[in-house]
Structures are given as structure tokens and as C-alpha cells.
Structure 1
Amino acid sequence: MRIVQIIDSLEVGGAERMALNYANALSEKIEFSGLIASRKEGLLLSQIDEKVSYLFLKKKKIIDFKAVFLLRRYLKNNKVSVIHAHSSSFFIAVLVKLTLPKIKIIWHDHYGISQDLKSRKNVALKFGSLFFKGSIAVNTALKDWAESYLYCKNVIYFPNFVDEITNLNKEVSLNGEEGKRIVCVANLRPQKNHELLIKAANIIRNEYPDWTFHLFGKDFLDDHSKKLKELVRDLELDKNIFFYGAVNNVASVLEQCNIAVLPSISEGLPLAILEYGLYKLPVVATNVGEISTIIISEKEGLIIESNNINQFSQSIQKLIRNKKSRIEMGLELNKIVNLNYSQESIVRDYISWLNYLINFIPSKNI
């Protein structure tokens, strides 16, 4: 089997990480594994396995014929049979399929606002789904939506998976006191609700001034980012909250932290929670998306209602006070992640599903 992953960029984000994860994992399992960034490169470029074939299309507009024909040539030269298109990259995959009808497209839906799927309309995607051989959803709500909205009927749910990156040696230097660090890995978008985290930090600072918050994720330098930083300044939390932006070595970050949080208003199945578990961190997260299917009980983490400042701050303080509980919780979440969200089991099922789609010949009506 010869498969390429296509993603718009290699900046640090959930969909981007999953495109990278699939490309790297498949390089050990199939004849040919490729990764294509269509519009922009980014920090994840350094994490591509040496066995993965990589191409940057330098796409500059919605319909870029130069990029389409560069992709076409790459697919033909490498005898690719399956395009695995992530998120909005389905569009260029469909355009190239019009010139290479035999190629199969698998679309991967990473949509993160699962609470409002009824209003999700995308005419281009609906039309494009006529050309999909199959569709992957990262949570059950997206699977239900795809089955009711798209023309493609071969829809399957595969959870995200994580794997340790071992080829990055550069350590990220963190502020704050060792043993008293709280981390949040989430791009600075409104649905990630960093405002709740900042307000909780203001409460926690009064009783635990030595504990610090470390925020990692892409900073879009927009009005939302400006508002968050102004709030930190207004509350005089400059020595308690630190913004680092995106980094390509989240492992180094998590190894230096003691509690992990995710205060989102909306999520799908967040990679951040899986990464927290991989590095045995105790977690406080909001009850959105598929988070409660990962953190099932208080043994694995603390789940709070979305936007509840009292619950959020009290849960963090509960973990601050009890080091033994933090360690036990991190170990339990690690077990869940290794058991249910491992690369090995999900990639095995993915290859099996693709083999079925490609080789299945429907019986003729009698």
C-alpha cells in the first residue's frame, strides 16, 4: 500500500500532529508513506521521520493549478494509491483526483466544535465527498454528522493517537519553581478558554503564590491574544503566568510540569489530553467533546463543567495539596492512553479498514 497524508500546514495543531503521526507510523508498516504540506510549513517539519517522503506544494490560492500539477506529478512518480486528506486539504485532493481518477481519497475530519454540529454547513465539502472512498471522524459526534450530511457512506471513527517523539534533544527552558508548574497546551483560540485559566490563576495565586502557569500553543497575535495578555497585566499575574507560543518539543515541556489543564469550551478528542497522559500528568479538564471518554473517573483525572471558575480553581488546588494523588492520577491516565490510544492498535485497524475499502467489491443485485 502506498499512502500520502495531505495537510494545509505543519504548524503545531491537532490536525497537523495527526497527519504527521500517521505518516511516521505508516512508514514502518507499508511500502510507501508520504507527507505533503500544501500551503505552509512549520515547527512540525523537524519531526518527520527520515523514512517518510516529504513534499511542500507552496499553494498560494484556493485553486492553484501549479500546486495541483506538482501534486499530480508526485503521486504518479511515487505510484501512490491513497490520498489521506486532513481537514480542508480535501479540496486539492479532489482537484487532483479529477486528473487521476483511479486514486482513492480518504478524508479525515478534525473539526473541534462538536457542540454545534447542527449549524455546520460546507457546500464544497459536501460536493467533494462524492469523490471520497472513505471518511474518518475523530469522535462519535463527527461520525454521526458525516453519516447524515456527506455523500460518502464509508464513515468510521478512529480516535487520535499519540507517540513519543524521541529525535528531539533540545530542552525547552521553563520559568517558575521546579515541582510547582501547571501546564496548558492549547492554541490561543477563544474556544480554548484561556480566560478561565487566567481567572483561576488569580484565585490560586493568593494561597499558592509559588505555583506558576505555563501556556503553550500558537499565538495568533490577534485581538483575542491581546485581550488575554491585558488581563494578565491587569491582574498583576506576570510572575505567575507565562506565554511561550508554539514549540516543537512538547515532551520537554511536559516532563518539567506537575499538573496539566485544559479549560476548553469546545473540543473534539484533544491530543493535549492524550499527551498529558503519555507523560503521566494529573489533569483538570472541562467536560466537553470526548474528554469524558478518556477521563472516565476521578482515578484518571478531574472533570469540571465548562466555564465554572470555582470548580476549576478548587480542582487545581486539590491537586496542588496532594502530591500522592497527583502521581497516582497521572499513572492511571497513562494506563488508559497506552491501552486505548496507542499508535500500534489504531494504525493496525486503519490499515485493515483501508484494505477492506480498496479490495471490497459489492455484489451485484440479482
Structure 2
Amino acid sequence: MKVLQLIDSLEAGGAERVAVNYANGLLHFVEVSYLCATRAEGLLKGDVNKDVGYLFLNKKKTIDIQAIKRLHQFIENEDIDIIHAHGSSFFLATIIKLLQPKLKLVWHDHYGKSEFLKQRPKQMLKLCSRFFNHIFSVNSKLETWAKTTLKVKSVSYLPNYAVKNNNALTTKLKGVEGKRIVCLANLRPQKDHLNLLKAFKAVLITEPMWTLHLVGQDFNDAYSTSIFEFINLNKLETSVFIYGSCADTSAILQQSTIGVLSSKSEGLPLALLEYGLAGLPVICTNVGDCSLVICDVKEGQLIPSENTIALQKAMLHFMSDLEQSKTVGNHLKNKVELSFSEASALKKIRLIYQTIIS
């Protein structure tokens, strides 16, 4: 069995990390594992195992004839059995499926706005879904949506899993050791950094030595501008630090004291699982399938989204007793290692692969 993971880019986003994790992890479960980045490379290219067959298409537009030809020829030459397309790469995968009807097509739905599915564009996805052999959904809402909206009989829920990267430490966090809050999230509106900044500003009144560290891609748009403006207007430059995309996230988490996600919407955030693997006490909004990871207060603080007061109180709660907070972090670590493991996910994926091939 030969399987190709298809992803738009290798920037440090959740879907991109999943695609790389699958390409690497499946080396032990399939005959040959491949990864293709269609539009752009990025930080995560350094995490791709040397034994993974790698292709970069440098696709320039939605229908790029040269890129289509290259991918078609690559799949034919390598005799690949399955394309596992992640996110918006489903369109290119569908074109290849039309050129090679015997090829099996799996689509992985990472949609991060699962709280707002009524607003989701679906016309093209609905059309292409007729050619999907299976859909993996990263949370239960997306699974239900796919079953009721798309033209696919075979759909299953597959929770994300995280792996520790082994990249050497290159990002040294500022601030006092033992008093750092980290947020791993690209600067996108659904991540609601502004609510986090408002809550943290209130925290500083009684806990002025703590610092907040934002790690994630800056798209240099109006949203990121609003974040920098808030920091400047409220004179938070010595308490809030922005690092952009970083390849050494596991090392960054080892320097951190508390992990936080303040999202308005999520699927099942990889960052939450990465916090868990690092043994951090976690504060997370109750969106997507986050409640499957944090089920009670022994595992973390699950709070309503867009609630500044609740977020402020949760941060102060962990700060007030750091030893108890470490215990909470260890509980979450055990939960993630047991229930969101790489081995169980890869076994499920391989079983679906075998089923659609046979």
C-alpha cells in the first residue's frame, strides 16, 4: 500500500502538522509513505522524515496545468494507491482522481470554524465529495455535517494527535522563568487573541511579573494589526511578546508555565494536545471537541468562549498555586498519552485504507 499525504503548504499550522505527522508515522504502517506540498513549503519541511517520499509542486493558481501534470505523473510513476488530501487540497486531489479513476481518495476535514458551519462555503466541496472514498473529520460536529451535507457514505471521526518535535531550541522566551503563559495559535480572528490580551491586561494588575507569549504565523493583515495596536495602546510591550512561526514548539513549551487557547471556534486543536504532552496546566475555551480532552477541573480549565472575566479568573487560579497547577498538567499529560495517541490513530487510518482498497 502506497499513500500520499496532500497539503497546501508546510507552514506551521494545525492541518499542516497533522499531514507531516501522518507521513512520518505511516512509514511503519504502509509500504511507502509520501508527502506533497502543493503551494508553499515552510518551517515544517524540516520535520519531514528523510524516508518519506517528498514532492513540492509550487502550484501558482487554482487550476495550474503544469502542477496537475507533475502530480499526475508522480502518482503514476510511484504507483500510489491512495491520496489523503488535507483541507482545501481536496480540489486538486479530485482532479487527479478524475485522471486516474482507480486511485482512492480520502479527504481530511480540519475546518477550524465548526461553531459556524452554516456560513461554510460548500458548493464545490459538495460536488467534489462524490469522488471521495472516505472522509476523516477532526471533531464530531464536522462528522455530522459531512454525513448530512456531502455525498459520501463512508465518514468517521478521527481525533488529532500530537508528537514532540526534536528540533533544537532556537527560540528563547523572554520574561521570568516560571511565570510565562504561552498561546500557540496563528494570528487568525477565530483564535480571539484580543480577548486573551484583555484578560491578561487585567491579570497584570495583581500579577505584574507574568508574561504572555504568542507563537504563530502573522499574516500581516488587519487582524494582526489590531493585536499590535492593542499591545501598544495599553503599554504591554514589556509583558506581551510575539514570535511568529517557530519550528521548535516542543522546546518553547518546556520554557512555559501555563498553556492557553482563547478561540471562538476550533476543530480539535493540535496545540491543546501539544500542551498536554508538555505537561502544562491548560486553559481552553469550550469550543469544538476541546471538552473531550479537558473533561473536568483535574485536567484543566475549560471556560466559555469570548468571556474575558472567565479567562482572567482561570489564569489567576493557576497562578495562585503553581504546585497544584503542575498536578493538573500531569493529569492532562496522562490523558493525552492514553486517549490521543499516535499508535491508535494510525491503526484506525490504516484500517480505513485497507477497507477502501479492498
Bin the TM-score by the shorter chain.
over 0.9
What is the DSSP-based 3-state SS (H/G/I as helix, E as strand, rest coil) of the residue aligned with 2:204?
helix
Question: What does residue 9 of structure 1 align with?
Answer: 9
Question: What is the correspondence of 1:211-230 to structure 2 with a 5 Å cutoff?
Answer: 211-230=210-229
Runs of 4+ in 1 over 3 A off after TM superposition: none
In the alignment, the residues of structure 1 paired with residue 245 and residue 168 of structure 2 have an alpha-carbon distance, to the nearest angstrom, of: 17
Letter of the structure 2 residue corresponding to residue 41 of structure 1: E
Q: Distance in 2 between matches of 1:255 and 1:316?
A: 18
TM-score for the superposition, normalised by structure 2: 0.98
Letter of the 2:58 partner, please give it: K
Q: Percent identity?
A: 43
In structure 1, distance between residues paired with 2:168 and 2:182 = 20
Matched residue, 2:242: 243
Q: CA deviation at 1:119?
A: 3.2
Instruction: Give the alignment of 1:285-304 within 5 angstroms.
Output: 285-304=284-303
2:31 is the counterpart of 1:31: yes
Number of residue pairs aligned between Structure 1 and Structure 2:
358
Rounded to whole Å, the distance in 2 between the matches of 1:108 and 1:130 is 15
TM-score normalised by structure 1 residue count? 0.96
Partner of 2:172: 173
Structure 2 distance, partners of 1:297, 1:135, is: 30
Task: Name the amino acid aligned to 2:198.
Answer: K
What one-letter code is carried by the residue in structure 1 that aligns with 2:108?
H
Q: Give the Cα separation in 2 of the matches to 1:70 and 1:8.
A: 15
Match of 1:319 in 2: 318
8 Å Cα contact 1:201/1:240 also seen in 2: no
Q: Shift in Å at residue 311 of structure 1?
A: 1.1
* Letter aligned with residue 75 of structure 1: I
Using the alignment, how far apart are the partners of 2:316 and 2:68 within structure 1? 53
Give the aligned residue type for 2:128. G
- Asked whether the equivalents of residues 178 and 256 of structure 1 are also in contact (C-alpha less than 8 Å), the reply is yes
The equivalent residue for 1:362 is none
- Structure 1: runs of 5+ lacking an equivalent: 360-366
Please report how far the alpha carbon of residue 170 of structure 1 lies from its aligned counterpart in structure 2 after TM superposition.
3.4
Equivalent AA in structure 1 for residue 78 of structure 2:
N
2:21 corresponding residue in structure 1: 21
Contact 2:169 / 2:252 at 8 angstroms: preserved in 1? no
Residue 127 of structure 1 corresponds to 127
State the match for 2:349 in structure 1.
350
Q: C-alpha root-mean-square deviation of aligned residues, in Å?
A: 0.9
Cα distance in 1 for partners of 2:119, 2:57 equals 32
Counting only pairs closer than 5 Å after superposition, residues 1-366 of structure 1 correspond to structure 2 as: 1-166=1-166, 168-359=167-358
Q: By how many angstroms is 1:28 displaced?
A: 2.0
Q: Which runs of 5+ in 2 are unaligned?
A: none
What letter matches 2:137 in structure 1? A
